[in-house]
Amino acid sequence: MTDEHKLTKKERRELKKQEWQEKAEREKRNALFKKAGIIVGVILVVVISIVGLIKLAGSSGLTSSSEINIPPISKNDITKGDPKSKIALIEYSDFQCPACAAYYPLTKRLLSEFGDKIYFAYRMFPLSTIHKNAIISAQAGYAAHKQGKFFEMEDYLFTKQTEWAELSDPTTAFTDYAKLLKLDVNKFKADMNSGEAKNYVANSQNQASSIGINSTPSFFVNGGRIINPRSYDDFKKIIQDELNKK
Amino acid sequence: MSLTKNNLSIACLIFAFIGFLDATYLTILHYKNAFPPCTISGCETVLTSQYSIVFGIPLSLFGSLFYLIIIGFSVAILLHKRKIFAHGLFISAFAGLFVSAVLFFIQFFEIKSFCQYCLLSEVISLVIFIICSLLYSKFLRTK
């Protein structure tokens, strides 16, 4: 009897010990879950907020741009294509902007593929605060325009952007491109530094910022701003859709 | 609300998160080649100045990483009250405050323009430093 009682006492003690252990383990597990939950929660919140910010950064450009009224293509613009075509594509661009150089092959291909179906205008928006050679390169473009070879010069400026972007005096490089284009080099140099070129670029820059353009490249199809397409196919689709509209 | 270690870490976490949103927004815009909506004139000047990029990396990206580090240490302290985390948090917060002060003076004396996103970040790093100092003193008192 006493033996049995002792045994049960021992058993009870063991049972209690086991319960404690289980409880401790459960608490330990809960604490671990709680910790893991906090860590996962913080990581999730950070990731979600990054995604949200990317969306916000993308949309803010769009909402502000929908209110932008851009002046239609005029005689003053540097253009390519047929003025009577259904599509008017306007690009605000900066020769020293890497994104503009990245978009250059796309617009080039677009213009060669659609030909006269697009009336294209290049408007200068040199971001002179971040790009030290933006203004002078725009003036070089204007000087080439005076000799009817703006788009040929654009080709050199964009494809060789990395060669001149950081030069303290890029005018020699620009003159070399003018030579390659068989331009009248003396006239080119004079035009590049003329008050006329400076005024043209400054006016273009002021006009662009006064209507609220804040990034380059900015594209407008028939007066409406488009979100910069991510690929050639996306860009082509926008133009194609616009053509099909009418 | 008493100034317990937990409450202070949570406060630090919240402010670091706000700072993280601010800096990351600027970082994303930088890589999109766009400007944020600026209400103070001169905002673009600051964000596109030569000081806005260090070693080809926009300062705002360093800001995002700084706030992530603060978030990391705050969470670590919430989970384990180890002194090493408190040291890490305090040193990071101090470094953040120092860089913020330098950037503030660059805006004031060199660029002579301000950008509200940068000012917000500078205020937040000051607040974080104050909270972290309080938290650190609690850790120093408990041996």
**Interface confidence (ipTM) of the complex:** 0.74
What the block records as the tokens of A17 is 């010990």
> From the candidates A56, A64, A91, A129, which should be mutated to test the interface with B, based on the most B CB atoms within 10 A?
A129
CA atoms within 13 A on the CB side of A29: 6
pTM of the predicted protein model? 0.55
Q: A79: pLDDT confidence band, cut at 50, 70 and 90?
A: very high
Q: Residue B124 corresponds to which tokens in the numbers above?
A: 């937040």
Identify which of B6, B13, B21, B36 has the alpha carbon closest to the alpha carbon of residue B128. Answer: B13
Nearest to A38 among B24, B45, B79 (CB): B79
**A2-28 residue pLDDT tens:** 555 667 888 888 889 999 999 999 998
DSSP one-letter code for A67: T
Q: Pick the closest to residue A160 from A149, A172, A147 (CA basis).
A: A172
For residue A215, what pLDDT is reported? 78
Q: Which residues of chain A lie closer than 8 angstroms to B44, CB-CB? A: 129, 214
Query: Which among B35, B49, B71 has the least Cβ separation from residue A215?
Result: B35
Lowest mean pLDDT among A95-99, A160-164, B10-14, B22-26: A95-99
Q: Which residues is B54 bridged to in the sheet?
A: B57
Task: Name the least confident of A48-52, A214-218, B51-55.
Answer: B51-55
Residue B1 contacts A where some CB pair is shorter than 8 Å: no
Residue that the structure tokens 């950037």 belong to: B103
Instruction: Check CB contact of B20 with chain A, cutoff 8 Å.
Output: yes
User: Is it the case that residue A191 has pLDDT exceeding 90?
Assistant: yes
Q: How far is A131 from chain B (nearest CA, A)?
A: 9
Contacts of A58 in chain B (CB under 8 A): 32
Q: How much is the average pLDDT of A65-70?
A: 66
pLDDT averaged over chain A? 87
| Mutation for testing the A interface, residue in B12, B14, B22, B33 having most A CBs under 10 Å | B33
Amino acid at B33: N
Give the C-alpha distances (Å, rounded to integers) separating A212 from A63, B26, B65. Answer: 12, 19, 32
Whether A54 sits inside 8 A of B35 (CB atoms) is no
Residue type, position A33, single letter: F
CA-nearest of A135, A168, A173, A167 to A153 is A173
- Interstrand relation of B57-58 and A78-80 (parallel, antiparallel or unpaired): unpaired
Contacts of B36 in chain A (CB under 8 A): 60
Task: Please give the Cα distance from A53 to B85 (Å, whole number).
Answer: 29
The residues near B122 (Cβ < 8 Å, ≥ 6 apart) are B100, B101, B103, B104
pLDDT at A137 over 70: yes
